[in-house]
């Protein structure tokens, strides 16, 4: 018999331990705390940057001075103040998790001072710019102009976040009631109302353009299958179903009939915003800011706008009162006895 190979026990290295801490933390925030995928992705991105800065050093041996140097490193990486604050918050939460796991007794990251952020007012489009933006998708230029108009109308009419728009399902849109159901951060559900323009654009999209896109996507899929196996009887039967369509539960789909990506929505808004001469920083969130500001300008109550936006705290909504100074002046003149 051949000699038995001697088994050498694997000794866990420092790098192995620290990588397992990161994996356990990401599993914790995703499965136990059930945070949104975007939040989990942000934690992962921030902590990977921290690990790269850390190198071969041990987390347990870091001092407050070391963590202060990391904060300086983030500032020198040309990150915005809000991004630096987010990275440090991710680090504090990660260290708090490690403290709960008994890795160390004291969370030194809590001693890092919070970044003092300049209060930045959101960019808002004027009603005139919004009007031009909503009709910018044109039949003679844009292949998916019906879909794009419906998306822009929906974003502005509801003030929904980009993730809420791409995850919207057909079953959650009730045109007969002029509203829809959205799931925001933390899967919190809220009912959002729709205006006539958004309803008309959405009805045209779902009745005319969307079925054609899905049917073309199905035919491309069938042709691809047939190319793989021309002699297959199954493919021949499937190719005979000319009216077959891809079944997608999502309200807005891509050219391939799949769920619209969040990045694609950003690119879509930027494309049409640049055409009307709007700043390059325009994004789907700009339409959300514009929705809130224009609602306040029209006389909506701050609490009502908070509910429509899905904000947990009214302090988040109050920033729009700084954008709309004309409303503040109007309220002052109406209510102050010596205005």
pLDDT single digits (tens) 213-253: 999 888 877 776 565 555 454 444 444 444 434 578 999 99
pLDDT value of residue 129:
94
* CATH code at position 41: 1.10.150.130
- Residues 43, 156, 272, 320: which is the catalytic one? 320
289 catalytic residue (yes or no): no
* CATH code at position 211: 1.10.443.10
Do 320 and 287 share a domain, yes or no?
A: yes
- Give the domain extent around 35: 14-111
Do 135 and 235 share a domain, yes or no?
A: yes
Give the separation between CA 226 and CA 205, rounded to whole angstroms: 30
Give the separation between CA 209 and CA 196, rounded to whole angstroms: 19
120 within domain boundaries: no
Q: Residue 281: pLDDT above 60?
A: yes
pLDDT value of residue 236:
45
Maximum Cα–Cα distance across the chain: 105
pLDDT single digits (tens) 290-310: 999 999 888 888 888 898 898
Name the more confident of 338 and 282.
282
Contacts of 8 (CB under 8 A, 6+ apart): none
Number of structural domains the chain divides into: 2
Question: Where do we find the tokens 């003092």?
Answer: 116
Do 89 and 151 share a domain, yes or no?
A: no
76 within domain boundaries: yes
Q: How far apart are the first and last CA of the chain?
A: 103
Of 55, 81, 111, which residue sits at a domain end?
111
Span 119-138, average pLDDT: 87
339 within domain boundaries: no
Share of the chain above pLDDT 70, in %: 81
288 catalytic residue (yes or no): yes
Q: How many other β-carbons are positioned within 10 Å of the β-carbon of residue 132?
A: 17
25 within domain boundaries: yes
Residues paired with residue 191 on neighbouring β-strands, in sequence order:
181
185 catalytic residue (yes or no): yes
- Residues 92, 288, 294, 327: which is the catalytic one? 288
Do 311 and 216 share a domain, yes or no?
A: yes
Report yes or no: 179 and 194 within 8 Å, Cβ to Cβ. yes
Do 257 and 136 share a domain, yes or no?
A: yes
121 within domain boundaries: no
196 within domain boundaries: yes
Of 51, 86, 111, which residue sits at a domain end?
111
Global pTM exceeds 0.75: no
- Residues 75, 96, 132, 185: which is the catalytic one? 185
Q: How confident is the model at residue 113 (pLDDT cuts 50, 70, 90)?
A: low
pLDDT value of residue 224:
64
Share of the chain above pLDDT 90, in %: 44
- Residues 87, 161, 210, 327: which is the catalytic one? 161
Do 165 and 305 share a domain, yes or no?
A: yes
Do 97 and 145 share a domain, yes or no?
A: no
Do 146 and 241 share a domain, yes or no?
A: yes
Of 79, 111, 143, which residue sits at a domain end?
111
Do 44 and 187 share a domain, yes or no?
A: no
The 3-state secondary structure of the chain reads CCCCCCCCCCCCCHHHHHHHHHHHHHHHHHHHCCCCHHHHHHHHHHHHHHHHHHCCCCHHHCCHHHHHHHHHHHHHCCCCHHHHHHHHHHHHHHHHHHHHCCCCCCCHHHHCCCCCCCCCCCCCCCHHHHHHHHCCCCCCCCCCHHHHHHHHHHHHHHCCCHHHHHCCEHHHEEHHHCEEEEECHHHCEEEEECCHHHHHHHHHHHHHHHHHHHHHHHHHHHHHHHHHCCCCHHHHHHHCCCCCCCCCCECCECCCCCECCHHHHHHHHHHHHHHCCCCCCCCHHHHHHHHHHHHHHCCCCHHHHHHHHCCCCHHHHCHHHHHCHHHHHHHHHHHCCCC
Do 194 and 222 share a domain, yes or no?
A: yes
């Amino acid at each position: 018999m051949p000699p038995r190979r001697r088994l050498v026990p694997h000794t866990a290295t420092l790098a192995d331990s620290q990588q397992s801490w990161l994996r356990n933390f990401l599993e914790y925030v995703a499965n136990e705390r059930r945070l949104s995928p975007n939040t989990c992705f942000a934690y992962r991105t921030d902590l990977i940057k921290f690990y790269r800065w850390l190198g071969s050093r041990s987390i347990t041996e870091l001092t407050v001075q070391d963590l202060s140097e990391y904060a300086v490193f983030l500032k020198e990486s040309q990150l915005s103040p809000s991004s630096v604050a987010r990275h440090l918050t991710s680090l504090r939460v990660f260290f708090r998790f490690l403290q709960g796991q008994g890795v160390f007794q004291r969370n030194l990251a809590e001693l890092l001072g919070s970044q003092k952020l300049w209060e930045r007012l959101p960019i808002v489009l004027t009603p005139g710019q919004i009007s031009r933006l909503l009709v910018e998708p044109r039949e003679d230029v844009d292949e998916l102009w019906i879909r794009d108009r419906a998306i822009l109308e929906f974003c502005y009419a509801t003030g929904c976040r980009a993730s809420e728009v791409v995850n919207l399902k057909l079953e959650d849109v009730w045109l007969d009631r002029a509203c829809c159901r959205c799931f925001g951060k933390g899967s919190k559900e809220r009912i959002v109302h729709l205006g006539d323009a958004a309803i008309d654009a959405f009805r045209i999209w779902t009745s005319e353009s969307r079925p054609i896109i899905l049917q073309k996507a199905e035919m491309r899929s069938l042709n691809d299958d047939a190319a793989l196996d021309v002699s297959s009887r199954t493919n021949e039967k499937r190719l005979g179903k000319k009216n077959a369509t891809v079944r997608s539960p999502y309200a807005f789909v891509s050219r391939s009939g799949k769920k619209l990506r969040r990045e694609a929505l950003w690119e879509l808004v930027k494309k049409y915003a640049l055409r009307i001469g709007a700043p390059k920083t325009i994004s789907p969130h700009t339409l959300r800011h514009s929705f809130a500001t224009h609602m306040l300008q029209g006389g909506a109550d701050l609490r009502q706008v908070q509910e429509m936006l899905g904000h947990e705290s009214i302090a988040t909504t109050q920033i729009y009162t700084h954008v709309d100074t004309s409303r503040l002046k109007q309220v002052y003149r109406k209510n102050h006895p010596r205005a």
